[in-house]
Homo-oligomer: A and B are copies of this chain.
Amino acid sequence: MSEFELISRCFLPLTGNCAEADGLANDAAILPGNDQFDLAVTLDSLVEDVHFLASDPPDRIGHKILCVNLSDLAAMGARPYGYLMAFSLSQQRGGGTEIEAWAGQVTAGLAAAQATFGGVLFGGDTTATPGPTTFSITALGQLPKGQALRRSTARAGDDLYVSGSLGDAAIGLVALRGHLPDLAEVHHLELIDSYQLPEPRLALGQVLLSEKLASAAMDVSDGLLADVGHIAEASGLKAIIWEAQVPLSVAAEAAISVNPDLRDLPFCGGDDYEILFTAEPAKRALIEAQAEALKLPITRIGRMDSGSGVEVLTPDQRPRTFAQEGWVHF
């Protein structure tokens, strides 16, 4: 049973078709709030040596655990309000002053991320675990009343866009594991930064919502192909991606030229935390203007069509296939 079969067979019936869950199809649940705001609520667990490395600098771990949750809020167009954190400390991590210093630095990373992106700690839970240290974060965001970006609302003929560049974090993890010894130091560091310091695209999400630019959106966390597949499936459409348009950073291109085996990671790697969205072709100029205003590259990488599935087309219009489409948790 795949993760997605588990969700559809086991978890979906538990929603009782409530509006808040919206078929478990989005990055966050949407709760009716007061007369000004609705609440976006998302919960993600981050496991040591699955979502971050035990050897990562602890302030960067603090940054990452909050920011990947804020990325879910960004994908809905929400503004960070606050969060709860459940902290399960590995019994293997020793104790005493060592833990005190480590936890202090994780906290410093959280504090810095809060200061940059918004939100404060509302509550949580601490416990010990015989397994790896795990953080679960519930992030709460404010949405303008009655509005939210969703995955299910793309239309045939819409353009498909992604922010930033793809594959950097996945290649950064390869670099962190020491498998890119021949890559220039500057690229090495940039790619590791992408893995350890994801930046939630909050300003972009909010403007896509407020200016009604996007017809559907989500964040890229499981890899481009998998996540485009989620928008296509939720919207009942087919997605076409133009291989040559998928944005790569200079560092990622350098890494792929050193090791061509990495060339699928911008499509299948995961951990990008960019925003993937669809928009009517009539919005192209407005979207370009926003990319300039936000100083954030936004690239048109394909389009939505009737049908189902995801097709990646090479420059000579032939379909390209991949061994594995995205991050599969189990």
Measured CB to CB, the residues of A under 8 A from B are 1, 3, 6-7, 9-11, 13-16, 18, 20-21, 24, 26, 28-29, 31-35, 39, 41-45, 47, 49-51, 82, 84-86, 88-91, 95-97, 99-100, 103-104, 106-107, 110-111, 114, 120-132, 134, 136, 138, 140, 329-330
| 7 pairs of residues in contact across A and B, judged by CB atoms under 8 Å | A1-B100, A24-B123, A29-B122, A86-B136, A127-B329, A129-B132, A131-B134
Selected from B18, B43, B111, the residue in CB contact (under 8 A) with A124 is: B43
Interface of A (DSSP majority class)? mixed
By a CB distance below 8 angstroms, the chain B residues around A124 are: 11, 24, 43
Q: Is the CB of B130 within 8 A of A131?
A: yes
Q: In the complex, which of the residues A9, A45, A50, A104 has the most CB atoms of chain B within 10 Å of its own CB atom?
A: A45
- Report the bound CA distance from A13 to B35 in whole Å: 31
> Are A32 and B34 also in contact (CB < 8 A) when A21-B120, A123-B42, A134-B129 are?
yes
- Report the bound CA distance from A216 to B304 in whole Å: 56
Q: Is the CB of A138 within 8 A of B84?
A: yes
By a CB distance below 8 angstroms, the chain B residues around A89 are: 329-330
Q: Is the CB of B1 within 8 A of A103?
A: yes
Q: Is the CB of A91 within 8 A of B34?
A: no
> Are A10 and B104 also in contact (CB < 8 A) when A20-B82, A31-B122 are?
yes
Considering the complex, give the chain B residue whose CB is closest to the CB of A1.
B100
Selected from B14, B34, B140, the residue in CB contact (under 8 A) with A111 is: B14
By a CB distance below 8 angstroms, the chain B residues around A99 are: 1, 330
How many identical chains are in the complex?
2
Q: Is the CB of B84 within 8 A of A41?
A: yes
Q: In the complex, which of the residues A32, A39, A136 has the most CB atoms of chain B within 10 Å of its own CB atom?
A: A136
- Report the bound CA distance from A3 to B89 in whole Å: 10
Selected from B41, B123, B127, B329, the residue in CB contact (under 8 A) with A50 is: B127
By a CB distance below 8 angstroms, the chain B residues around A50 are: 127-130
- Report the bound CA distance from A85 to B53 in whole Å: 24
- Report the bound CA distance from A10 to B138 in whole Å: 18
- Report the bound CA distance from A39 to B34 in whole Å: 11
Sample of 18 more A-B contacts, CB < 8 Å, known A14-B107, A14-B110, A15-B121:
A1-B95, A10-B106, A11-B121, A14-B111, A16-B121, A29-B82, A31-B39, A32-B34, A41-B123, A42-B84, A42-B123, A43-B85, A45-B134, A47-B129, A99-B330, A129-B131, A130-B132, A131-B134
> Are A31 and B107 also in contact (CB < 8 A) when A1-B96, A131-B132 are?
no
Considering the complex, give the chain B residue whose CB is closest to the CB of A45.
B86
> 8 closest pairs, A vs B, by CB?
A131-B131, A136-B136, A14-B121, A29-B122, A29-B123, A43-B84, A45-B86, A10-B107
